[in-house]
Amino acid sequence: MSVFESKKFDSHEGIHFFSDEESGLKAIIAVHNTNLGPAAGGTRLWSYENSEAAIDDALNLSRAMSYKNAMAGIPFGGGKAVIMRPEGAFDRTKLFTAYGKAIESLGGVYCTAEDVGVSTADMEVVRKETRFVGGLDHGNAASGDPSPVTAEGVFRGLHIATDHALGRPDLSGLRVAVQGLGHVGYSLCEKLSAAGAQLWVADINDNVIERAVRELGAIKVSTDAIHAQDVDIFAPCALGGAINPETIQHIKAKIIGGAANNQLASPEMGHMLKEMGILYCPDYVINGGGIINVAAELSGTYDFDWVDDKLNGLAKTLGDIFDQAFDQGMSTHEVADQMALMRIFAS
């Protein structure tokens, strides 16, 4: 099947392929929609089974970025990049130097920052080749890793969700299962613990789990059972597809809200959650804090108050989605999609 016939294509404006033999670079930059401005989205470094899987991931993620950026109220369209991790040892500096040149060749159509498998140090290498990058540690508008801001957005969103679903204005005493303790997931755990929540955690990295047990009093759970815990909130913060036909039947939480992208394996999962009485926080709404932070950097003058205001706007938008879904008897993901499309195509 060609890209144009793929169900994931969704009228992307452009899909750009880059390779560099010396560095081992094999990258795909997908630009979904630029109605609201240049495409913006992170870069993911991952070991894909094959190029088809990498393309599918880029298409899914870039489409989600169009929706995310629209709902975040920032002047950017949607794009995403994936780099197929070279087999064996490789030179990261050479790899990200080649990648930076690839971004520069697009002339500003796409702006990036770090995502899974990519660090601020990698972005500093990219910055030497192009100005179309954020998530930096150095520079006039640099604010570092945007992960803590993503976590803050999820944290604020969970307050809105618990108020709607549980009638609780705070998170104290609530039980939360967090799947994935990367930069965002661990930061979210810290915020939840400080707010008085009880934590159940799972990750493929035993070291970070032991740290959460030691520092936050978390309870360790296996990665294949974290979704099935008897908790109030399930927070997927790893890769996509956490809500799928196999896991959904075991979910006991009343609220699902986390930092992962593309949490629903299919739209049908969203409808099933509604029928089960589970409040789903659309992922591209609740996890928009990181791209808001990157947008502030890309403006050239980082403004903390602007970022904070946008985070509050995300929380309000999430509440509006819940209200509209309840009033119209719709699933929250349907309402969010409709709102996002109206913003994207309003012009």
> 43-46 and 25-33: which strand pairing?
unpaired
Active site residue 68: no
Strand partners for 44: 82
Active-site position among 7, 8, 68, 80: 80
User: Within 13 Å and on the Cβ side, how many CA atoms surround 170?
Assistant: 9
CB environment 204-239: b (16+ within 10 A), e (fewer): eeeebbebbeeebebbebeeeebbbbebbbbbbbbb
Q: Give residue 65's Cα distance to chain centre.
A: 9
Residue 65 contacts residue 41 (beta carbons within 8 Å): yes
Rounded-to-integer distance, Cα 13 and Cα 9, Å = 10
Rounded-to-integer distance, Cα 340 and Cα 332, Å = 12
> Residues with catalytic annotation?
80
